[in-house]
Structure 1
Amino acid sequence: MNILQNLSIKAQEDGEKTAYKYKDYVVSYKMLDEQATKFASGLQTLGVQKGDHVALLLNNSYHFIVSLYGVLRAGAVAVPINPLYTKSEIQYILQDSDVKTVISIDSLLNSLEREPYLKNIIVCPTERLAEADSFHVSKRLKGKVHTFTEVLHLLERTLLPVPIDGEDVAMILYTSGTTGKPKGAMLTHTNIYSNARDTSTYLNIAKADRIIAVLPMFHVFCLTVCINAPLIAGATILILPKFSPSQVFSYVSAEKATIFAGVPTMYNFLCQYENGTREALESLRLCVSGGSSMPSALLREFEEKFQISIREGYGLSEASPVTCFNPPRSNIQKEGSVGVSIVNVENKVVDGQGEEVPFGEIGELVVKGPNVMKGYYKLEEETRHIIKDGWLYTGDLARMDEDGYIYIVDRKKDLIIVGGYNVYPREVEERLYEHKAVVEAAAIGEKDETYGEVVKAYVVTKKVVSEEEILEFCKTHLAPYKVPRNIVFLDELPKNTTGKILRRALKKKLSEEEATHL
């Protein structure tokens, strides 16, 4: 079984059920199945063959869902890319992944003009343009550019069936590149289907559910939790083009949404939104958080304010991505935990020699299951480094309790060593979030001649507060070596497009500041 076969089964069993809604555009499972088939046929007419790599440079819209399923049905490999990346970032991924066809929003057409290796550019309209074909095509691109609608109706031939094996690569997802260049994680059809199926089962997603898809669709969190898992369950996807607290409150209320998935930053914005009411969210039966660790203070604030449980989970692109979640059907939710292993996935915590550590001890989290990627594209050595004996080494420090609940401590690379003592940035950040004035917080290590490193904290506050007050607060909650040496106040912390706070951007800023003082 794969997600394409599942879609066809749902189209036969319950074809009139709504698969997705985008603004006023409502599409049934039968129609989505037909759209995917027609788009796949159009791609084949353009010369796309099995195994070809097709990039998706798209915003949240129905174009993304139809394109994704159409690409896969044609037997090609989908390469989702963040459309907000810079031209050079996009160019690197397109070239590294050997893409020949791009499905793109219209505003990026000019930036794709000087990529001679591209054979086809399929353009989707954005809010900026009313008509799909109202853009200018230069002489350089004549014959290469087609509109989304055109490809959807290229019925020169019916779809040539493409045999798809479970081990065939379905998608290449490029990691955010915390160190060096981004790497392409190759996910097979089995990887994608198994993780979507197991996530859907674990979260008890049902046919009657209506899931808000506001996370970026190019990101694996949204791909699995908000697109593939709901479609496997026969549920309805409610597409929001972009996140804003006011739109989330109004859309959840108007559409009677039952599930919302977001990153901690989104929940923070929802909490801070003055006009947000408990009544507007009363249809939600479940909120899901992932992408980065949820501060305990924020989780408590949201649940108390809106009387809705947030179930935090954990995953990574290389694992398709979900590996564990707090059980939604259980009253047990351990604060600070990302839950227990989902069905068919095994997690354990190991030491530097790969041996499992006792309960409660900190080590590296490793994962095994049908969701673990095939490897990094064209990077065999890096693949061998991260996958050993079938276990995916996540690079995250964690501990596990006797009930199997996992607690992410921090990234191995973010560990701060102060005078020989280990300081985990998240522990410092958790305490900072408990201060009534702090809205966002991040901690990093700063070089120090005496201690090697000291803690430096960056905060965003909702009201004026002194550095001395926050430092005194930290001193009452943290061991002396964990207390930040100083506090830097910012209007906003750097984040990626999913809202995850980027410590590496703060480290880079600190390095540049240190360099100017040499």
Structure 2
Amino acid sequence: MVLILALLAAIALIWGLTAIVEKFRLGLSLTQAILYAPLKLIYRISDSRIGIATEATAPVIYVVTHQSRLDPALMLSLLPENTLHILDPYSARSLWLEPWRELARTIAFNAEHVFVSRRLVRVLRGKGRLAVYIPAAVEPDTRSFRLYRAVIRIAMQADARIVPIFIGNANLLPFQIDGKSPSPRRWFPRLSMSVLEPMTAEELVARNGSPATRNAHALFDRMAEARLAAIDPALTVFQAVRDAAERFGTGRIAVEDATGSQLSYRALLGGAHILGKRFSALAEPGEAVGIMLPNTNGAVLTLLGLSSAGRTAALINYTAGPANVSAAVGMAVIRTVVSSRTFVEKAALGDIVHSVEEAGAKLVWLEDLQSGITAMDKLAAALLWRYPLGRQDARKPAVILFTSGTEGLPKAAVLSSRNLIANAMQAEARITITTDDVALNVLPMFHSFGLTAGTILPLVAGMRLFLYPSPLHYKLIPQVAWRLKPTVMFGTDTFLAHYARTASEDDFSSLRFVVAGAEAVKPETRRVWRERFDTAIIEGYGLTEAAPVAAVNTAIHNRDGTVGRLLPGMKMRIEPVEGIAEGGRMFLSGPNVMMGYMSADRPGEIQPLPSGWQDTGDIVKVDREGFITITGRAARFAKIAGEMVPLGAIEMLVQSLWPEESHAVVSVPHAKRGERIVLVTTAAAADPESLRKLGKQAGLAELAVPGDIVKVAEIPVLGSGKTDYRATRELAIRHLAAGSAA
């Protein structure tokens, strides 16, 4: 009995001391502090930013992302006592919440009437405070989205500031408001308060300097930013995967490849520990080490091993040709390249290996590194898999990616761990994914889309990842999908169109959606996937320099013909372009935008972006809801007789004429007009008369209609699936010189 009394006295003492500390530290009332203290102790709450909310000048609306039943208790404990809380029916009548409800005024939530009440506007106009709890769905349905509209409307009428609040890791708690959780549940996760600065509705709407929405999207984007701000920006790629292992379960299968090999999170990080020790002996801290591997478990192990060791992974595009590979090795000052003998032999990459060695780099074979593993190595990995081998700094270079070279020579883009993890979390804050999802990634890791969206995102979000080594196996990939039953897939329009031609209706029936990027999705491709597989293609937009995703549609917020809306945390600037009446050239900034370029004339030196803005080179227009339409590339405009002609727009028109074929529109020199337009196509039936009729129907000037047609068996493509316009242009010039154009 004495022991029990002593224990209770100790608990009471700790409780009381914590309450006193929190009262003075956070400016709480004594009752608030007493009720907050046990929550603080149990969930080790990081609450340093809550002062932004409590010190906000009234009138103010606190918009809380409502994930768990615990949220109202926390907010009632922390927000000023004169705040009016609008609670859901459960929270409004739950007995266990009664002590917390006594801390402030509360009213029950009525989705049909509460937000049109003039009372709320009067409360705010009287220098009041309002706490609104909005469902946590990343992609809210129409009914939930009305709440965003209502909050914006009330804020405008009352001239109130809006403070978004997101409770990090609350989604891990076992008491979810919808009875579901996207992650394995934990009783005592560490919680953190993500609170953003107060802004008026007008300030939210005007932030991007574009004709953005005058409705709920402005608030919706701000709430997504609060979700994003809950992520620790100091995590490296290795640390983010390690934290995912601890969150989702170390024994959970993380990755599988086409050989049938499966790795749990523990095995993955243990293998990374073993390889990381080898890499520490091969390269100096911060040094770039090349990776020349297909989509396999070995590639992921190598990537994480380099991150653990504090080395930079340079992903080499082995499909780019010897000259580009040699240039890449020189630009990034790569002394060591990790590859596989089996892969080099099967892919017939002897010329690529020769170019790597000629550029001064040494090939290290993964088979040799794995064959030297000892029992002591395995023991160390089993005990120390959680701990990185080298100094971790998320601000330092993590990977070097080489741009596709669609229109010119490739460049080396340097991305930090902060860029990569931020981009993965930006995508997670916009697209609904869960630990029940199975991701099929056929895109190579040397392509930024295949690396971040196709590999890093599934690993840090707890999705089960299946890696397939080549996107070019058009007949085999549908069979893999039929066996695997993936729910999420990543691809490009070119690849998706090919898979649809060889697949049966059941092959992709398990997919919830396909995320497509790198090139515009053709209407025909979208139609085929909808009709045959009942699968939506979610089109996005990205560039290697943005790690790469910058904008994306979602399953619910989707507008065909656009690339979606800007990701949370990003800013956009549109500059006018001479000769283009609508839209302009897009510049981007954000936490995912790269550190800078490396170039051949200054190898190994990172050249930062001017003022942190990335020139995308894309011509865009933005509608009032923030959906972005790509109208062309600055480099893909031809100037003919003084007129700016968008080659991409012409290409889309030609696609509508022969939808089942592949086309590329390029410009070549012309003695009188400066340039002339050429259609390169696989359509055997393509003829100049049909093009002229199409141009007339579309209202195109005669000079914008392709005057020459080059028919080919295949359009040149890059390893990423994008059209290789540089090679296509050279092909067109050769055909014109030989007189073989129509």
TM-score range, shorter chain: 0.7 to 0.9
Return closer, same or farther for 1:162/1:238 CA change in 2, 3 Å cut-off.
same
**Corresponding residue for residue 466 of structure 2:** 238
Q: Which residue of 243, 246, 262 maps to 1:26?
A: 262
Is it true that 1:260 corresponds to 2:489 in the alignment? yes
The secondary structure found in structure 1 opposite 2:469 is coil
The answer on whether the counterparts of 2:329 and 2:356 sit within 8 Å (CA) in structure 1 is: no
- Distance in 2 (alpha carbons) for counterparts of 1:472 and 1:218: 42
The answer on whether the counterparts of 1:386 and 1:394 sit within 8 Å (CA) in structure 2 is: no
**Corresponding residue for residue 79 of structure 1:** 314
- Distance in 1 (alpha carbons) for counterparts of 2:283 and 2:732: 47
- Distance in 1 (alpha carbons) for counterparts of 2:373 and 2:331: 26
- Distance in 2 (alpha carbons) for counterparts of 1:376 and 1:61: 28
Q: Which residue of 602, 609, 632 maps to 1:410?
A: 632
- Output aligned runs, 1:266-415, within 5 Å: 266-273=495-502, 276-328=503-555, 330=556, 332-351=557-576, 361-377=582-598, 387-415=609-637
Return closer, same or farther for 1:402/1:154 CA change in 2, 3 Å cut-off.
farther
**Corresponding residue for residue 220 of structure 1:** 448
Is it true that 1:40 corresponds to 2:279 in the alignment? no
The secondary structure found in structure 1 opposite 2:273 is helix
Cα deviation 1:156-210 (Å, max 9, x = unaligned): 9878732212211111111233565432111111111111121133222221111
Cα deviation 1:133-155 (Å, max 9, x = unaligned): xxxxxxxxxxxxx4444369883
TM-score by length of 1: 0.86
- Distance in 2 (alpha carbons) for counterparts of 1:97 and 1:153: 35
Amino acid at match of 2:377: L
- Distance in 1 (alpha carbons) for counterparts of 2:586 and 2:563: 12
User: How many residues matched?
Assistant: 485
The secondary structure found in structure 2 opposite 1:280 is coil
Q: CA deviation at 1:469?
A: 3.5
The secondary structure found in structure 1 opposite 2:269 is helix
- Distance in 2 (alpha carbons) for counterparts of 1:116 and 1:398: 39
**Corresponding residue for residue 139 of structure 1:** none
The answer on whether the counterparts of 1:167 and 1:188 sit within 8 Å (CA) in structure 2 is: yes
Is it true that 1:2 corresponds to 2:2 in the alignment? no
**Corresponding residue for residue 645 of structure 2:** 423
Cα deviation 1:215-269 (Å, max 9, x = unaligned): 1121111001111001111111111122223222222121110011101101211
State, as a whole percentage, how many aligned pairs show the same letter: 25
**Corresponding residue for residue 127 of structure 1:** none
Amino acid at match of 1:427: A
The secondary structure found in structure 2 opposite 1:364 is strand
The answer on whether the counterparts of 2:620 and 2:629 sit within 8 Å (CA) in structure 1 is: yes
Q: CA deviation at 1:291?
A: 0.6
**Corresponding residue for residue 211 of structure 2:** none
Q: Which residue of 696, 701, 709 maps to 1:475?
A: 696
- Distance in 2 (alpha carbons) for counterparts of 1:32 and 1:434: 46
Which has the higher mean CA deviation after the structures are superposed, 372-381 or 179-188? 372-381
Q: CA deviation at 1:112?
A: 6.4
The secondary structure found in structure 2 opposite 1:281 is coil
The answer on whether the counterparts of 2:313 and 2:398 sit within 8 Å (CA) in structure 1 is: yes
The answer on whether the counterparts of 2:319 and 2:718 sit within 8 Å (CA) in structure 1 is: no
Cα deviation 1:269-293 (Å, max 9, x = unaligned): 12322xx233221110011110111
- Distance in 1 (alpha carbons) for counterparts of 2:452 and 2:398: 13
Return closer, same or farther for 1:292/1:12 CA change in 2, 3 Å cut-off.
same
Return closer, same or farther for 1:17/1:422 CA change in 2, 3 Å cut-off.
same
**Corresponding residue for residue 141 of structure 1:** none
**Corresponding residue for residue 173 of structure 1:** 401
Which has the higher mean CA deviation after the structures are superposed, 21-30 or 477-486? 477-486
The secondary structure found in structure 2 opposite 1:434 is helix
- Distance in 1 (alpha carbons) for counterparts of 2:508 and 2:421: 30
- Distance in 1 (alpha carbons) for counterparts of 2:659 and 2:686: 7
Q: CA deviation at 1:379?
A: 7.6
- Distance in 1 (alpha carbons) for counterparts of 2:286 and 2:465: 28
- Output aligned runs, 1:42-81, within 5 Å: 42-44=278-280, 46-81=281-316
**Corresponding residue for residue 456 of structure 1:** 678
**Corresponding residue for residue 248 of structure 1:** 477
Q: CA deviation at 1:11?
A: 2.4
Is it true that 1:99 corresponds to 2:334 in the alignment? yes
> Which protein shows a greater Rg?
2
The answer on whether the counterparts of 2:291 and 2:315 sit within 8 Å (CA) in structure 1 is: yes
- Distance in 2 (alpha carbons) for counterparts of 1:203 and 1:397: 25
Q: CA deviation at 1:345?
A: 1.6
The answer on whether the counterparts of 1:41 and 1:155 sit within 8 Å (CA) in structure 2 is: no
The secondary structure found in structure 2 opposite 1:431 is helix
Q: CA deviation at 1:438?
A: 4.5
Q: CA deviation at 1:371?
A: 0.7
- Distance in 2 (alpha carbons) for counterparts of 1:122 and 1:380: 27
The answer on whether the counterparts of 1:298 and 1:433 sit within 8 Å (CA) in structure 2 is: no
The answer on whether the counterparts of 2:598 and 2:606 sit within 8 Å (CA) in structure 1 is: no
**Corresponding residue for residue 365 of structure 2:** 123
Structure 2: runs of 5+ lacking an equivalent: 1-234
**Corresponding residue for residue 435 of structure 1:** 657
The answer on whether the counterparts of 2:419 and 2:594 sit within 8 Å (CA) in structure 1 is: yes
- Distance in 2 (alpha carbons) for counterparts of 1:210 and 1:249: 15
- Distance in 1 (alpha carbons) for counterparts of 2:465 and 2:423: 18
Q: CA deviation at 1:501?
A: 0.9
What is the RMSD of the two structures over their aligned residues, measured on CA atoms?
Answer: 2.9
- Distance in 2 (alpha carbons) for counterparts of 1:27 and 1:35: 9
TM-score by length of 2: 0.61
The answer on whether the counterparts of 2:444 and 2:720 sit within 8 Å (CA) in structure 1 is: yes
- Distance in 1 (alpha carbons) for counterparts of 2:606 and 2:304: 31
The answer on whether the counterparts of 1:39 and 1:153 sit within 8 Å (CA) in structure 2 is: no
The secondary structure found in structure 1 opposite 2:527 is helix
Return closer, same or farther for 1:116/1:87 CA change in 2, 3 Å cut-off.
closer
- Distance in 2 (alpha carbons) for counterparts of 1:182 and 1:454: 26
- Distance in 2 (alpha carbons) for counterparts of 1:338 and 1:31: 38
Q: Which residue of 709, 712, 715 maps to 1:487?
A: 709
Amino acid at match of 1:60: N
